[in-house]
Structure 1
Amino acid sequence: MKKTRNYTCLLYLCLLDISSVLMFDDIKFFFENASFMPHGHCYLWRPDILWLNVISDFLITVSYYVIPFYLIFLVKKRKDLEFNWIVVMFAVFILSCGTTHLMDIITVWNPQYAIQGVIKFCTALVSMLTAFMLAPLIPKAIRLPSRSELDYSHQQLKTLNEKLVEANASLEEKVRLKTQDLSSLASIVEHSNDVIIQKNINDKIIFWNNASEKFYGYKAEEVMGKSIYDFIPLEKHQEFKEMMDRIYAGEKTESLETMRYNKEGQIVNVSIGISLIRDSFGKVIGSAHIIRDITAKKMVMTELKKSEDRFRRVIEAAPNGLVMVNSKGLIVLCNLQVEILFGIKREDLVGFPIEILIPERFRKNHSGFMKGFLGQPEARQMGVGRDLYGLRSDGAEFSIEIGLNPITIGDEIYILASIVDITKRKALEEQLRHYSKVMEQKNHEMEQFVYTVSHDLKSPLVTSTGFLGLLKEDLLSKKYEDLMDSINRLEKANHRMSQLIDDLLQISRIGRIKLDFDKIDLTTLINNICENLSAQLLEKKVEVEIEENMTLPFADKNRIYQVFENLIINALKY
């Protein structure tokens, strides 16, 4: 429209220039028509030719006057048209053409050829301007899509619109579900047993659930907008700030065990987990804090620690070496006695296989024994019927005895092994076996000795019995002169028995008789034996012939006496 106004003004200025050139009289003369004939003379005033042209020009004039109004109406209604100014130019061009045809009708009867020329000149200017303005639009018009392209684009737009409608419906459903999830999540958070607090980037509290009210004792409206540091002990401010700095820096942190105050001023042990809150662009706008009361847990852990300390003290105080092994065969605990027995520090044992404590030749089969024990875990001695050996750090082996006891901790079974060094006991057992053999030999000798002693003791008793019989006969027959002789012989027999008893006592005390070697008058010794056995000799009517001057250069008198006495008694008996 702006361009149309500009061109109209240009036309008006051209007309002014023409009129300024011509003088008024010249203009009056220019429009004088007295000397011209009407255009009807050219038609020879033939009605058929005349009215054909008049009616045609009239219809063209009416059409050319109606069309511009339609075009102007279109421009006013469609202000979004990109080239509406060219439509206006076409409207002016058509209106000018219609005026030209109107003048063709007038000049049939009224020869106003000057006015007709001016109108044609104006029409020519408008036509030229329109043609000039239309030329740059032709490439743009060529680029305008065709009807088929518009139909295709319309179909594409329709398809896209349908997809958009479907996507919008899907999005609305997702929004509905998301809103429902958020409502459910909000309800869960609000009614969670855990304390859940949210703060913004400026450390101001923006959310406080029901559990927070119960834990701290403050209502939500009491704490909204307050600094979270108001609910943290002063000595824990730096700890909390450092943790938040690490989280803001993107560092992953474990739950923090610390302390918090409640409304009554009581200190409560808590565990805090913190996660960042971000907006839709990923910018951090705050953080969520999940707080759990671990006071009871702390008490349990304290008692558990005390129990562990007591257990460790019992383990350390045990006189035996104690080793605890897990189901993988790795040492998890050992006491000081194990260090002493094997000469290895416990830090060099914990975490290592139990096989490092046994000689190489036993390691291959040990895992099988261990699996067997875990299959039927019960308290028992290890290696019944087998000799067990431990391996010291210097490579020396020593005899051990091991008691096994299963311990269940949680879901895992551990093996507690009690290890005793039985090296000394083994030596004592060996010594005992040696002494047993010696005692067996001694018992055998004792049996022989008892047999001999019983035989030797019986001889004096028999002699005494015989002389007692003689004494009785002498007393009855009143042979008093023989009485003293029988008493003397009886006394000698008793003395002999006393000597044998002394020898027996000596053997029982020192295990052997002390021999008294000397030169022996064998003739006298045998005579003495015969005198002691005179009663048996008389009873059996036996005579003993004794050679004179028989001696033994080197012998024990008592042992030789027993030998000859036994020989004579056996001779009397058999």
Structure 2
Amino acid sequence: MFQKDQDIFNILLGSVSEGVIVVDENQNIVETNDSAEKMFGYNKGELLKQPLNILIPQNYHANHGSHFKGFMKQKERRRMGQGRDIYGVKKDGTTFPVEAGLNPFSIYKKDFVMALVIDISVRKEQEEKIQELNTTLEEKVFHRTKELNETVGQLEVENQKRIKAEKEAKSALKKEQELNELKTKFLSLVSHEFKTPLTGILTSTILLGKYKLTEQQEKRDRHLKIIADKVHYLNNILNDFLSLEKLEKGKINYKFSNFKISKVLNEVVYNANMLLKDGQQINYPENIDDISLFQDEKILELGLSNLVNNAIKYSSEHTIIDIDITQKKDVTIFKIKDNGIGIPEKDQKNIFNRYFRAENVLLTQGTGIGLNIVKEHVGNLNGKIYFESTENQGTIFTIELPNKAQL
């Protein structure tokens, strides 16, 4: 009935409801079925001969190669993402949660891996709805209990002191719980934000040792850049944590001086240029050579660097970051505009809160304390910071500082 084995294979693939992706030992895609192509948003045959990384979010690339090599050595069937969430990325760049089972096999003395992939977006949404319902129920129970306690307190005058003591105890317990939650979140954050860059540095260091030929200089340069970028990222995290500690303990001694704004901006743009993605460009403001401030120069540089670096991080390739500076009689206004992913409306009220990260950047490296630090410093200098943002269109952050600091 069938002319070739390939016909049988294609019909079997087409009958499988899960997405099927077959890769060779070099992680190149050699076969897919209709379900997989539809799941990831590709046309028929479009994925063939493409690297597997095209279906994996960018921030997972660094670790995936070593995981794949380890799996090929063991050659045992297993499920991916045990104990943690895994994600795929569609052709249009959107990410979505998946489950995947890996099945190694060999044909004609060549090793392959067949992955069965399931889109679990609906399940995740249902889990979140259930969690929201549980939270709402707990809040209702808490409020009903509180109302009942208050009623009992009103009816029993003799118990007023006891009720007051209970409220104070609950308040103290709540503060202690919040503190413990912050500590736990902080430790988890530090562990994650340090582990990922360190893994990248280690991987690049190992690979550098393998590129010994003169014609491999381009590969060496690429890994040296990866190492430099990771070290720069870790250094920024450490600086953020040190700044945060000083702010909390009130140990900041601001150093005020007269300086040209162009001097600070040149340093900010110079450092930012090393972080630009392909095709990204920073538009330098015009007519600022004669603008001066009497402020803390380093704090201004810190604030502008944070905003410009965020604009680069959360914007795609071939986009523009605009910097605009105007000086009025009593205040100087700095505007940083990008055409990036924007901030979801429901997250905007929390964007300056410590450790908070908007839902559309959870897969991007970051600590959630940079904007909090900038806001604290700007406030201490009698200035203000605010923003306008539309999701998927871009964001404009604005800093206003007095032209002359109050000593």
Same fold, TM exceeding 0.5? no
Specify which structure has the higher proportion of helix. 1
What is the TM-score when the length of structure 2 is the normalising length?
A: 0.34
Q: Report 1 or 2 for greater relative contact order, CA contacts < 8 Å, sequence distance ≥ 6.
A: 2
Specify which structure has the higher proportion of strand. 2
Please identify the structure whose Cα radius of gyration is greater.
Answer: 1
What is the TM-score when the length of structure 1 is the normalising length?
A: 0.25
